[in-house]
Amino acid sequence: REAKGKMPTYKGLENFRLIDKMGDGAFSNVYKAVDIHTGQRVAVKVVRKYELSASQAGDNKHLNKDFKKKPRVTERANILKEVQIMRGINHPAIVKLLSFSESEEHYFLVLELLEGGELFHQIVKLTYFSENLARHVILQVAHGIHHLHEERGVVHRDIKPENLLFERIPIRPSRAPQSKQFEEDKEDEGEFIPGVGGGGIGRVKIADFGLSKVVWDEQTMTPCGTVGYTAPEIVKDERYSKSVDIINVLTEKVARGYYTFLSPWWDGITASAKDLISHLLCVDPAQRYTIDEFLNHPWCKAAPAPPPPPT
Ligand code: ADP
Ligand code: MG
């Protein structure tokens, strides 16, 4: 499955052999790579420093051979902030930054490799997550968020399935949701969850600190900036901004709080799960569950159902 097509080479990244492209963003490319000296497998996020300006990217660019490079000033500040924030964090639910370097043209973030890919792809592939599997995933994410909020004073601000990565590729194959096989296989989800049936997806980790922000000084647990000079509404605002990690507002409907537990898909979901979700989807950030309230909800405390008895 590796070495799909020719990998690019980057000046300044000679210590790594690129194996495969894993992510393709507007500003960054993420590669699976090997450290040629240690043999360690890593992920390398390559971020371009410069962008062609909008006019030069237009139709007439062939007329202008002398492309001027425009520094992406905001991006520069962001990537350095992303690195700065990631550097201070050491938690099992957060992707580790192993090293950082830059060349004239690029920034290179060498990251702990998560082979299992995005939660997003697993949702698409499996179509169905049992409550046990969902709990297994979201509890790890919640502990990561708890660490960011309560111990680092960091809000991530971009929690979504594309930025949540699995350690391993699940062993269960994909299948059609309405098939008989699917109904039977729902039972053996145990193999997905480590400690229940072995194998499985392993850990889930939070990636992509590109939009993250420090809101509290981690030593003093006071708002960043000089508190004595900060207006009350700013302090209040920053305190509330933590709640953005609890909800990812995707649409106008969600923003206004319009949602339903649509039948038949939600019929089999426990009342406890629905109660928790409704507390997370509160439009008013002051009413919305904090990460502590989330972790203390009965649904999060529930032990996974035991695997079915052998027949
Ligand atoms: P962007 O800011 O472009 O969204 P991300 O840091 O989210 O950059 O990386 C883009 C994609 O690359 C992710 O959605 C994921 O698919 C992949 N990726 C990022 N980091 C890793 C990693 N450490 N291990 C495996 N895949 C990764
Ligand atoms: Mg991302």
- Ligand 1 neighbours, Cβ below 6 Å, are 22-23, 25, 28, 30, 43, 45, 95, 111-114, 118, 162-163, 165, 207-208, 210
CA 123 – CA 161 distance, rounded (Å): 8
Classify residue 195 as left (phi > 0), alpha (psi -120 to 50) or beta.
left
| Residue whose CB lies within 8 A of the most ligand 1 atoms, among 208, 212, 248, for a mutation test | 208
Rounded to the nearest whole angstrom, what is the distance from the C-alpha of residue 184 to the centroid of ligand 1?
A: 34
Nearest of 31, 29, 28, 25 to residue 43 by alpha carbon: 31
* The two structure tokens encoding residue 9: 């080479």
Label each residue of 163-227 as H, E or C: HEEECCCCCCCCCCCCCHHHHHHHHHHHHHCCCCCCCCCCCEEECCCCCCEECEECCCCEECCCH
Residue type, 49: K
- Indicate if 237 belongs to the active site: no
3-state SS string for 248-267: CCCCHHHHHCCCCCCCCCCC
Quick check: 106 and 95 in contact, CB under 8 A?
no
Beta bridge partners of 23: 30
What is the CB neighbour count within 10 angstroms for residue 77? 10
Reference 166, options 221, 123, 223, 226; nearest CA is 123
Amino acid at 111: L
Among 158, 208, 217, 237, the one annotated catalytic: 158
Of the candidates 38, 36, 44, the one whose C-alpha atom is nearest the C-alpha of residue 15 is 36
Sign for the CA dihedral angle at 180, 181, 187, 192 comes to negative
10-residue averages of pLDDT along the chain (311 residues): 73 97 85 98 92 45 44 64 93 97 95 93 84 92 95 89 87 51 50 50 90 72 52 50 58 71 95 96 88 97 73 66
Residue nearest atom 7 in ligand 1 by C-alpha distance:
208
According to the model, what pLDDT value does residue 157 have? Answer: 85
Ligand 2 centroid – CA 60 distance (Å):
32
Q: Which of 2, 30, 209, 211 to mutate to test the pocket of ligand 1 (most atoms within 8 A of CB)?
A: 30
**Phi, psi at 166, each rounded to 5°:** -95, 145
Closest atom of ligand 1 relative to the 115 alpha carbon: 25
Q: Determine the atom of ligand 1 nearest the C-alpha atom of 27.
A: 3
CB atoms within 10 A of CB 43: 21
Which numbered ligand comes closest to the C-alpha of 162?
Answer: 1
Ligand with an atom nearest the CA of residue 45: 1
CA of 24 to the centre of ligand 2 (A): 9
| Predicted local confidence at residue 110, as pLDDT | 98
Ligand 1 atom nearest to 95, measured from its CA: 23
Ligand 1 atom 11: the closest Cα is on which residue? 23
pTM of the model: 0.79
Beta bridge partners of 29: 24, 46
Ligand closest to CA 27: 1
CA 132 – CA 178 distance, rounded (Å): 20
Separation in Å, CA 82 to CA 8, 49, 92, 253: 24, 14, 18, 31
Q: How far is CA 120 from CA 204, 234, 299, in A?
A: 12, 34, 22
